[in-house]
Amino acid sequence: MKTNFKRIALIGKYTSASVSSSILRLAEFLEQRGHEVWTTVHTADNCRITRLKSAPLVELAGRIDLAIVLGGDGTLLNVARVLADHPVPMIGVNQGRLGFLADVSLDTMLPTLEEMLSGQYVAEDRIMLECHLERHGDLCDAAYAFNDVVVSKGSTGRLIEFEVYIDDKFVYSQRADGLVLATPTGSTAYALSAGGPILHPTLEAFVLTPICAHTLSARPIAVNSRSEIEINLIHADDARVHFDGQRHRDLIIGDRVVVRRAKNTIRLLHPAEHNYYDTLREKLHWGEKL
């Protein structure tokens, strides 16, 4: 099957210049196939790449047909939030550690991408979160999250108290270190560490997982992805809301964090042999003998 990926952006891990040689090698490969290759200004500066055309990612978002991200899952999360309003599919080349999202191996990058760019891939649409922070009745901040939105204690380390509403219905009040509201993609991240379940990426659901709640009865809850979740901060000496663990805003008592499903989805492209359960088994070391 022929693909329509004429313009391709190569985006490297933001804190590492070590991806430079991989980007240049990949750029040469793509140009030989007839693709128009771009990179982001940040990647070009960080990796000291001068021969590729570059522009800010926010500008490239409306002009490219495909984004290839070289890094770990954190890099891909960052890119996904910028591309959230644009139907640009992404391929992740894993230069990180876990690689739940970036699943193309660096060692087999070129032959794997040759197959994928020839149409041999699995496409997967994943839901995102849109979060609004309201203070005194006004919109204070808005952000996307691909993995999770987390309301948690700040640097003082003291418990916070909050109320949770789902579709305007009161669910509970909690005293805890915080609450993780995760997409299926984010269910294998912070939510999993906090004791939440693993959700298959194609599920139309979110999971709410308390963090070290001051009660033995606190349990994760999975809800329909069309639900609107409201978290009201009742008491805290220091609290924050985090978006994918990469951006945060300080919270004050009375703040209202409203989370709903984002209008658009993120499309990930995987190698043709991709199997989510294989990924779980490999990354979580299921079945290994001690």
Residue 98 has a pLDDT of: 64
- Any domain includes 285: no
pLDDT digits (tens, 9 = 90+) for 239-261: 999 999 999 999 999 999 999 99
The reply to whether 145 and 202 lie within a common domain is yes
CB contact set of 74 (below 8 Å; sequence gap of 6+):
96, 245, 246
The domain that holds 40 is classified in CATH as: 3.40.50.10330
Q: Is residue 168 part of a domain?
A: yes
* Average pLDDT over all residues of the chain: 94
150 in a domain, yes or no?
A: yes
Structural domain harbouring 98: 7-119
Q: How confident is the model at residue 43 (pLDDT cuts 50, 70, 90)?
A: very high
CA dist 64 → 55, 71, 93, 166, 250 (Å): 11, 19, 18, 37, 35
pTM: 0.93
Residue 42 belongs to a domain = yes
Q: Which of 92, 119, 146 is the last residue of a domain?
A: 119
At 289, the pLDDT band (50, 70, 90 cuts) reads confident
Claim to verify: residue 44 and residue 140 sit in the same structural domain? no
Confidence category of residue 286, pLDDT binned at 50, 70, 90? very high
* Domain presence at residue 88: yes
Whether residues 135 and 249 share a domain: the answer is yes
Do residues 98 and 162 share a domain?
Answer: no
| pLDDT for res 146 | 98
The mean pLDDT value for 11-38 works out to 89
Residues 111, 96: Cα–Cα separation, whole Å: 20
Is residue 139 domain-shared with residue 72, that is, in the same domain? no
CATH number of 204's domain: 2.60.200.30
pLDDT at residue number 48? 87
Both 152 and 203 in a single domain? yes
Q: Is residue 219 part of a domain?
A: yes
Any domain includes 274? no
On the question of pLDDT at 232 being above 70, the answer is yes
Task: Point out the least confidently predicted range of 64-73, 201-210, 262-271, 278-287.
Answer: 278-287
Same domain, 151 and 231: yes
Q: Which of 15-29, 180-194, 204-218, 267-281 has the lowest mean pLDDT?
A: 15-29
Inter-axis angle of helices 109-117 and 20-32, nearest 10: 40
Instruction: With respect to residue 282, please indicate whether it lies within any of the assigned structural domains.
Output: no
| pLDDT (mean) for 5-14 | 92
User: How many angstroms separate the CA atoms of 126 and 198, rounded?
Assistant: 15
Give the model's confidence band at 211: pLDDT under 50 very low, under 70 low, under 90 confident, else very high. very high
**Are residue 156 and residue 237 in the same domain, yes or no?**
yes
What was the pLDDT predicted at 257?
98
Q: Is pLDDT above 80 for 156?
A: yes
73 part of the active site: yes
- Last-in-domain residue among 54, 86, 119: 119
Counting the structural domains of the chain, the total is 2
- Do 100 and 141 belong together in one domain? no
Regarding whether 174 and 112 lie in a shared domain, the answer is no
Q: Which of 65, 73, 141, 237 is catalytic?
A: 73
The answer to whether residues 80 and 133 belong to one domain is no
Whether 113 and 215 share a structural domain: no
